[in-house]
Amino acid sequence: MLRFEGGTRAADERQAGQEFSKWDRITVLKHLKRYWGENRPSRGTGRTRAQGELSVLHSLDAIRTVVIQIGTDQMDTITEAAAERKQALTLVPENVDLTPEAWTEKDTSDSGLGAEVPPQHGSWVKIGRLCAVKRADSDHWWVGVIRRLDAASGARVATGIQVLSKTPFSMWLKMVGKEGSLASSWATSSGSHRYDYVDAVLLVPEIEATAKNVMLVIKPTDYKPDMVCEALIGDKPRLIRFGATVDSGDDFVIVSCQWL
């Protein structure tokens, strides 16, 4: 089943009212393989005690709104395309709650944070949820995934967050459809294609800010293996190719990517 997922967009298998779809089964199997397998992730550095307030937001829509946004000179074209299709086009969806929850930071490491969730907050919290966090001494949001929960301490829940990127960016992707799987399609495009515009979160790795391989966070329905898109960065778009899915959740997939 995992081999099947590699060549087909499993999100298409989701159906309303279906208790356990193919997508659900694949998600569980991939999670078990990742965390029970021989190469399961582990903390590479020790923790340091920390104390302070941690601002926390969840949902992909909220995250792409608060992280640093990369502008593009094609915004007018994007707006026109959305108007033609009668789509709402905004990086700040009106129905998204951008009021952060205040958690208590307990410890920190190079790749993660430990925090305590107050009783009146965190009803959305579960392992695998994507979130944005901002420390009290910082003006910038980080993107992470909840990896650990411990409710043994009573009413308060202790949580561990893996930080995926301390320098995430929100940007637009320009997709050309199935023929866009080949970079040559862009070079020979006659302008007759119907383009789709998707907003994504770029996760820049901490080790090397100019790394060739990066990760993108997008909605499951926007992911197609080996898809080539244009990343709209200022007045100099760059081609980027989707790779395999690294992680996934209720409203997101994290995809490995390569600049072309």
pLDDT in tens, 232-241: 887 788 899 9
Least confident range of 94-98, 117-121, 169-173, 207-211 = 207-211
The whole-angstrom separation of Cα 219 and Cα 251 is 6
- Tell me the average pLDDT across 177-184: 50
**Domains in the chain with CATH codes:** 2-36 (no CATH), 168-259 (2.40.10)
pLDDT of residue 42: 57
- Tell me the average pLDDT across 135-161: 86
Confidence of residue 160 (pLDDT cuts 50, 70, 90): very high
pTM reported for the whole predicted model: 0.74
pLDDT in tens, 15-45: 455 566 676 677 777 767 766 676 665 555 6
- Tell me the average pLDDT across 215-222: 92
Higher pLDDT, 193 or 58: 58
pLDDT of residue 9: 46
pLDDT in tens, 80-119: 665 665 555 554 456 778 899 999 999 888 788 999 988 8
Is the pLDDT at 52 greater than 60? The verdict is yes
